[in-house]
Amino acid sequence: MLDQPDRKQPEKRWRRRSDARPGELTAAAFALFAEQGFAATRLEDVAARAGVSKATIYRYFDSKEALFEAVVKEATAPRFAEAELLVEAFQGTTPDLLRTFFQVARGALSGPLPALLKMIVSESATFPKLASLWADLGVSRMLELVRRIVARGIARGEFRQVDLEAVAPVIMAPVFLLGISKQTFSNTSVQFNPDQVLAQHADVLLRGLELRAEEAQT
Amino acid sequence: MLDQPDRKQPEKRWRRRSDARPGELTAAAFALFAEQGFAATRLEDVAARAGVSKATIYRYFDSKEALFEAVVKEATAPRFAEAELLVEAFQGTTPDLLRTFFQVARGALSGPLPALLKMIVSESATFPKLASLWADLGVSRMLELVRRIVARGIARGEFRQVDLEAVAPVIMAPVFLLGISKQTFSNTSVQFNPDQVLAQHADVLLRGLELRAEEAQT
Amino acid sequence: MLDQPDRKQPEKRWRRRSDARPGELTAAAFALFAEQGFAATRLEDVAARAGVSKATIYRYFDSKEALFEAVVKEATAPRFAEAELLVEAFQGTTPDLLRTFFQVARGALSGPLPALLKMIVSESATFPKLASLWADLGVSRMLELVRRIVARGIARGEFRQVDLEAVAPVIMAPVFLLGISKQTFSNTSVQFNPDQVLAQHADVLLRGLELRAEEAQT
Amino acid sequence: MLDQPDRKQPEKRWRRRSDARPGELTAAAFALFAEQGFAATRLEDVAARAGVSKATIYRYFDSKEALFEAVVKEATAPRFAEAELLVEAFQGTTPDLLRTFFQVARGALSGPLPALLKMIVSESATFPKLASLWADLGVSRMLELVRRIVARGIARGEFRQVDLEAVAPVIMAPVFLLGISKQTFSNTSVQFNPDQVLAQHADVLLRGLELRAEEAQT
DNA sequence: TATGAATGAGCGTTCATTCAT
DNA sequence: GATGAATGAACGCTCATTCAT
C-alpha cells in the first residue's frame, strides 16, 4: 500500500494509450480541421500531430468523414447539457436568467465551440449529413432552450407576448455572429468586443421584451 | 483602312467574346463555389459550365485562387451602395427607416449575397486576404451604415442613448444568421422564416431602442 | 502536289499519338496483365511501358477495371469472326473442315489468345462481369460454331448422330487444355506438343464420330 | 511415466488445439483463396474464419505466400492415390475401366479439386514453384495413369495403336475443361452438364480408340 | 501461445497546372 | 486566342507484417 501509489505502472502505458487514442486523434483532428478546414487537412498531419501513423487512424475511424463526425459529436455533446441544467434549475427572475444565459454563452465563445460552429458552416456543402446532425443536436436544442426561457418570462408576467418561434433566433443571433466572426475576421479590421456586444444585446432585448406596467393585464 | 473591311466583323465578334469571357468564368465559378465550396469545385466543371476548355481559364486567371478572389471581388463591389443611398435619402422617422432597411436586407437574402457570405466564412482560413477585404468592403461598411441610422434616431430623440459600436452588430446579427443559415441548413430541420424573424427582430429592437416619454430629458 | 507526299507532317505527331494512345495502353496493359495477373500489375508500370504518365491512363479509361475490359474486348473480337467465316465458306468434307478448324485453333495457340484465356480464368472471381462477357462473346460463340460443324457432318451423312450440346465441349477441350497449359505449366515438367496432341485428337475424334458403312441408314 | 498423469489432460487439450491450428488455417485459407483468389484474400479474413487473430497466422506460416503453398500442398497430396489403386486393381475390359475412371473423375469434380486446379492456374505466374509442384504431383501423375490405361487396352487388343503421349491429354481434356469451367463460368450463360459431357466424351473416345475387327492383325 | 495495436510501403485515383499545336 | 493532351504531386485508404504484452 505504501509504494503502490507511486508506481507509474509503465507496463500499462500501452493499454492506456489504446483507450486514449481515439481522444488524442479527435483532439488533433479538431485542431487541424478548425485551423485549415476539412478538405485542406491531410490525414497524415492529423496522424503526425497525434504521434501515430496514418494507418492507425483507420483502427478507430472508418474514414476521414467518420473522424470528422466524431470530432463534432465529441465537442458538441457536453456543452448543451450544462446550459439546459442551468435554465431548469434557475431560481431568480427571467431577465436575470437571460443575463446569466448570455454569460454562459460568452464563456462558450472562448472555448472550442466557435471553431466547431465554423466547421459546420464551412463543410455543410460537402457533408449535408453533418449539417443535418448539427441542426438536430445543436441548433434545435439551443433554440428550444431559448424558447423555454422566454415562455418562462411570459408565464411569470415579466415579458410581453411574443412569437416564440421567431424570437428565439433573434436572441441567439448575436452569439452566432460573435462566434463566426471570431473565427472568420480575426486579423481584420472587424473586431467585436463580445462583452460589450452581448451586454448591449441583453440591454436592448430585455427592454424590448419587457412587459410595461401600463400594458399589463390581469 | 485597306485590309480592315475584310476582317472587321470576325474580329469584333472575337473581341466581344473575349471581353465577356472573364465574366462568364467568374459567374460559373461563383455558382459552383457557392454550391460546393472552393476545394470541392473542380476547374474542369467551371470550364464546362462556362462553355470553355480548362486551359482557357488560365488565360484570364493565374490560378484557382486568383479565380476565387476575382469571384469575391466582383460579387462584393456593387451591393452596398444602394443601401447607403437609401439611408442618406430617407425622409421619414428612424423606426420607419430601420424597418425599410430590414426590408432591403430581406430582399438581399434572396440574392447571391448569402452565398458570398458563406464563401467568405468558409474559406477565410485559406484566403485571409479575402476575409480582410470583405471585412473592409462588406462588414465594416454595413456596420457603419447601421451606426448612422441609430445615431440619426438618437439625434432626433427617437432612440435612447446606446453604445453605437456595440449595438450595430446586434442589429445586423439576425440578418447574418438568416443568410448563413439559408446556405447551411437548407434541407435540415432548422428552417427560419426570414419575414417573421426580421419582423420580430424589428419589433423587439425598436421597442428596446425607443426613448420612452418618461425618460426623455432636456 | 509535288512536295506534299514527301512531307512528314511532323506537326501531326501529337494528334496521331492521341489516336494511337488507347491502343498503346491496352497493348502495354495486355502484356503486363498476362505476365503478372491483374492485381499484381501496377498502373504505374502500365503507364511506364506505354511511355506515358499514370494520369494519362485516366484520360482514356475510367479505372483499372475498365482498362482490363478494354484489353479483353480488343483482343477477343477479331479472332472469332475469322473462324466463323472459315466454317461458312468451307467446301470440302466435314472431316477436312474439322481438321482445318484445328489448324486454325493451333495457330491461335501461338498468339495472344492463351494469355487472354488465362486472364479470364484467373480474374473471374474478381470480375464476374468479365467472365459473363466472355462466356457470351467467346465461349458460347465458339461452341455454337463447333455445333454447326458437327451438324454439317451429320447432315451430309459423314458423322453419326450425337448429342450436339455435349459433343461441342468435348471437341474444344484439348484446345482449351493446350492454351491454359501453355500459360500455366511452361517451365515445368508438363509440356504438351500442340501439333501432336491436336493431330491425335482429330484422329480419335473423327474415328469416333464417323458413320460406318454398316450403320448407315437411308 | 511418473509425472505424466498429472499434466496429461491439460497438455493434450493444448497440444491438440495447437496441432489442429495449421489445419484450421489452411482450411479457412483454401476456402477464401478458392473463392476470391490469392491477392483478393485478406489475411484478416482468413484469421477471422479460422477464429484466431491475424498475428497467430504468423506463428505457423512465415508469410501469406507460405500459407498459400501450404494450402496447395495439403490439398494436393491425398487425392491421386485412389485413382491409381483403381486402375491397378481393375479386372474388367479396358473400355469399362475407362468408363469407371471417368466416373471417379466426375465425382472429383464435385469436390475441392476444381478449386485447387483453378488456384494453380490463376497464381502460376506469382508462384512458379507451385505450378512446378503441381505439374509433377498432379498433372504428370494423372497423365501417366491415363497412359497406363490406354496401354492396357492396346495390350489386350481392345484399342488400336495410338500415340500414348499425345492421347493422354486428349482423354483428360474434358475433365480439365469441366473443372475450370465450373469455377470460372458459374453464374454465366455457359453451363456444362458434366454427366452428359463425360458420357459423350467416353462414347466418342472409345469408338475412336476401338480396334475394329477388320483392322486387327496378329 | 496468442493477440491487440501499430505501421511502412504502396496503390488507385484526382486535379491544378503546363504545353504543343 | 483557344484547346486537347499530358503530367507531377498529392491524398485517402489498404494490408501484410511486426511488436510489446
SS3 A103: helix
Cα–Cα distance for residue pair D158/D151, rounded to 1 Å: 10
**What does pTM read for this prediction?**
0.85
Mutation for D interface: C72, C119, C124, most D CBs within 10 A: C124
Query: Residue A198 and residue A186: Cα distance in Å, rounded?
Result: 18
Q: Long-range CB contacts (< 8 A, 24+ apart) of C143-151?
A: C143/C168, C143/C169, C143/C172, C143/D190, C144/C168, C145/C80, C145/C83, C145/C84, C145/C87, C146/C101, C146/C171, C146/C172, C148/C87, C149/C87, C149/C94, C149/C97, C149/C98, C149/C101, C150/C94, C150/C209
How high is the pLDDT of residue C199? 97
State which residues between 120 and 149 of chain B bring their CB within 7 Å of strand F. Answer: none
Residues of chain D with C-beta less than 8 angstroms from the C-beta of C181: 169
Span of A163-172, C10-19, C66-75 with lowest mean pLDDT: C10-19
Say which of B128, B166, B207 has its CB closest to residue A197.
B166
Concatenating the DSSP letter of every residue in D155-169 gives: HTTSB----HHHHHH
User: What's the half-sphere exposure (Cβ side, CA atoms, 13 Å) at B119?
Assistant: 29
**C25 C-beta less than 7 Å away from strand F:** no
Euclidean distance between CA atoms A193 and B143, whole angstroms: 14
pLDDT at D16: 43
> What's the rounded Cα separation, in Å, for the pair D74 and D58?
18
pLDDT tens-digit series, residues D37-80: 999 999 999 999 999 999 999 999 999 999 999 999 888 877 67
> Regarding predicted confidence, which is higher, C35 or A4?
C35
Q: What is the pLDDT of residue A22?
A: 85
The cell for B149 is 441610422
- Is D13 a residue whose pLDDT tops 70? no
**pLDDT for residue D115:** 93
**Which pLDDT band, with edges at 50, 70 and 90, does C21 fall under?**
confident
- Which of B87-96, C20-29, C75-84 is predicted with the least confidence, judged by mean pLDDT? C75-84
Å separating the CA of residue C44 from the C1' of nucleotide E11: 9
Long-range CB contact pairs, C92-95, < 8 A, 24+: C93/C156, C93/C158, C94/C149, C94/C150, C94/C152, C94/C153, C94/C156, C94/C158, C94/C159, C95/C153, C95/C158, C95/C206
Residues contacting B18, CB < 8 A, separation 6+: none
Q: Do A180 and B178 touch (CB under 8 A)?
A: no
* Cβ C14 to strand F below 7 Å: yes
Q: Which of D169, D174, D207 sits opposite C169 (nearest CB)?
A: D174
**pLDDT on residue C17:** 57
Query: Is B127 in a helix, a strand, or coil?
Result: coil
Q: Which domains does chain B have, with CATH numbers?
A: 10-61 (1.10.10.60), 77-212 (1.10.357.10)
pLDDT digit string, tens, across residues A7-39: 333 333 344 455 777 899 999 999 999 989 898
pLDDT in tens, C152-170: 999 999 999 999 999 999 9
Sort out which chain B residues have CB atoms less than 8 A from A188's CB and list them.
131-132, 135-136
- Strand F positions with any atom < 7 Å from protein CB? 1-21
Residue with CA nearest C1' of nucleotide F2: B56
Average pLDDT of the residues in C122-134:
88
| Mean pLDDT, all residues of chain C | 88
Q: Which nucleotides of E are covered by protein (CB under 7 A)?
A: 1-21
> A131 CA, F11 C1': separation in Å?
25
Q: C216 beta carbon < 7 A from strand F?
A: no
Reference A123, options B183, B111, B67, B109; nearest CA is B183
Which residues, 6 or more positions from B51, have their beta carbon under 8 angstroms from its beta carbon? Answer: B24
How far apart are alpha carbons C217 and D186 in whole angstroms?
40
For the segment C193-212, the average pLDDT, to the nearest whole number, is 97
CA–C1' C63–F5 (A): 18
Secondary structure in 3-state letters for B129-166: HHHHHHHHHHHHHHHHHHHHHHHHHHHCCCECCCCHHH
Contact C64, C46 (CB under 8 A): no
Cβ atoms A159, A210 nearer than 8 A: yes
Share of chain D above pLDDT 90, in %: 70
Give the one of C132, C169, C188 whose C-beta lies nearest to D197's C-beta: C169
* CB-based burial, B84-116: b 16+ in 10 Å, e otherwise: eebbeebeeebbebbbebbeebbebbeeebbbb
Q: Residues with Cβ < 8 Å from C70, sequence gap 6 or more?
A: C22, C26, C29, C61
Residue with cell 447551411: B184
When the pLDDT of each residue in chain A is averaged and rounded to a whole number, the result is 88
Chain centre distance of CA D183: 13
Pick from C37, C136, C206: CB nearest D125 = C37
CA angle at residue A89 from A86 to A91, to 5 degrees?
110
Inspect the interface and report whether the beta carbons of B174 and A170 lie closer than 8 Å: yes
Going by C-alpha positions, the residue among A97, A130, A132, A110 that lies closest to residue A178 is A110
Residues D151-174 have a mean pLDDT of: 97
Which chain C positions have a beta carbon within 8 Å of D122's beta carbon? 37, 121-123
Question: Using one digit for the tens of pLDDT, what is the confidence trace for A132-168?
Answer: 988 988 899 999 999 999 999 999 999 999 999 999 9
Which residue is associated with the grid cell 495457340?
C109
The tens digit of pLDDT for each residue in C108-120 reads 999 988 999 999 9
Residue A170 to residue B200, Cβ atoms within 8 A:
yes
Q: Report pLDDT for B154.
A: 97
Higher pLDDT, B2 or A123: A123
Q: Distance from B202 to chain A by nearest Cα, in Å?
A: 10
Which residues does C9 contact at the CB level (< 8 Å), separation at least 6? none
Confidence at residue D9, expressed as pLDDT on a 0 to 100 scale? 40
pLDDT of residue C5 exceeding 70 = no
Mean pLDDT in residue range C184-195: 94
Highest mean pLDDT: which range of A24-38, C104-118, C192-206, D115-129: C192-206
Contact B207 A208 (CB under 8 A): yes
> What's the rounded Cα separation, in Å, for the pair D196 and A59?
52
C113 touches strand F (CB under 7 A): no
| A30, A32, A34, A40 alpha-carbon torsion, rounded to 10° | -130
Q: How far apart are CA D108 and CA D86, in angstroms?
A: 14
Burial A64-102 (b: 16+ CB within 10 A, else e): beebbbbbbebbbeebeeebeebbeebeeebbebbbebb
Grid coordinates given for C199: 493431330
D4 band by pLDDT with thresholds 50, 70 and 90: very low
For C29-45, what is the mean pLDDT?
A: 93
pLDDT by 10-residue block (mean), chain B, 218 residues: 38 49 90 92 95 94 94 82 87 96 93 92 90 90 95 96 97 97 93 97 97 75
* Share above pLDDT 90 across residues of chain C, in percent, rounded to a whole number: 68
Q: Is the CB of C44 under 7 A from strand F?
A: no
